């Protein structure tokens, strides 16, 4: 089955809704990813992971929407190339997506996130949307889907960071020509940034956290083979979650008395 929403006709999508299909919304950002990766990184990878997982879970079936290409990225503005929303706007866009899906007969939504700055806002939004629309709205961030497998694949860092070994490896596996290989050495030369005190939260610009390069991690160790291993692990675990009945129970309507 074709798993990409934009390649279907309206009647085909209505038929998928009647079959109980699971819509999947990838969300990322449009923000700097050092001197060697495109600003499209988080959106591109979230979409690719979603498609790979949906292709493994066609018995559901799952249908992947075009990615929401901007999120909360104000912390990346000092480096250029960044377009950001605020939280109110992001929530309003997500609300419109959920309302549109429900109007067409879909009864659930999975949001696959590719950007760290979206994690906290999405956690709040999916709670509010579940209450409002009475349907399960679930979010996950793809590096958290297969942390052990990713850690076993990488050699210079324990997990995915930013424009790092992990993200660069995934790009090499998906579209090697988009990686500016001649800038990777420069990308690895960042200075140690501000160390955030555990247990506290405040706004930190990425210019504070990753001075000079805007990169956290070492992309020099990235290979296409590592990228393919990461994609395979994430797709397998994400497809399993799509089939997990516990995720897709209808939320209790706690505001109704």
Q: How far apart are CA 32 and CA 54, in angstroms?
A: 28
pLDDT band of residue 190 (cuts 50, 70, 90) is low
pLDDT in tens, 127-167: 999 999 999 999 999 999 999 999 999 999 999 999 999 99
All domains of the chain, ordered by start, with CATH? 5-248 (3.40.50.10310)
Lowest-pLDDT range, 59-68, 227-236, 248-257? 248-257
pLDDT band of residue 53 (cuts 50, 70, 90) is very high
Structure tokens at 79: 């480096």
The two beta strands, 109-113 and 137-141, are parallel
pLDDT at 257 over 70: no
Lowest-pLDDT range, 4-8, 45-49, 58-62? 58-62
pLDDT for position 195? 75
Per-residue pLDDT, averaged over 191-205, amounts to 78
pLDDT for position 52? 98
Say what percent of the chain tops pLDDT 70. 98
Q: How far apart are CA 95 and CA 119, in angstroms?
A: 17
pLDDT in tens, 3-31: 999 999 999 999 999 999 999 999 999 99
Name the pTM for this structure.
0.95
């Amino acid at each position: 089955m074709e798993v990409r929403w934009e390649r279907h006709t309206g009647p085909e999508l209505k038929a998928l809704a009647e079959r109980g299909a699971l819509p999947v919304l990838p969300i990322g950002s449009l923000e700097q990813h050092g001197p060697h990766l495109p600003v499209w990184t988080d959106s591109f990878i979230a979409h690719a992971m979603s498609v790979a997982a949906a292709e493994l879970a066609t018995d559901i079936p799952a249908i992947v929407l075009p990615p929401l290409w901007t999120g909360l990225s104000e912390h990346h503005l000092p480096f250029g190339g960044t377009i950001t929303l605020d939280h109110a706007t992001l929530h309003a866009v997500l609300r419109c997506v959920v309302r549109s899906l429900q109007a067409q007969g879909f009864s659930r939504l999975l949001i696959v996130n590719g950007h760290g700055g979206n994690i906290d806002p999405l956690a709040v939004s999916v709670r509010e949307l579940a209450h409002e629309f009475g349907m399960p709205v679930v979010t996950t961030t793809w590096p958290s889907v297969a942390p052990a497998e990713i850690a076993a694949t990488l050699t210079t860092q324990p997990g995915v960071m930013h424009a790092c070994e992990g993200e660069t490896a995934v790009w090499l596996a998906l579209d090697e020509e988009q990686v500016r290989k001649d800038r990777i050495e420069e990308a690895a030369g960042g200075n140690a940034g501000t160390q955030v005190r555990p247990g506290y939260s405040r706004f930190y610009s990425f210019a504070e956290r990753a001075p000079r390069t805007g990169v956290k991690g070492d992309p020099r160790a990235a290979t296409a083979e590592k990228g393919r291993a990461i994609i395979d692990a994430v797709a397998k675990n994400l497809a399993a979650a799509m089939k997990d009945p516990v995720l897709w129970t209808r939320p209790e309507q706690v505001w109704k008395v």
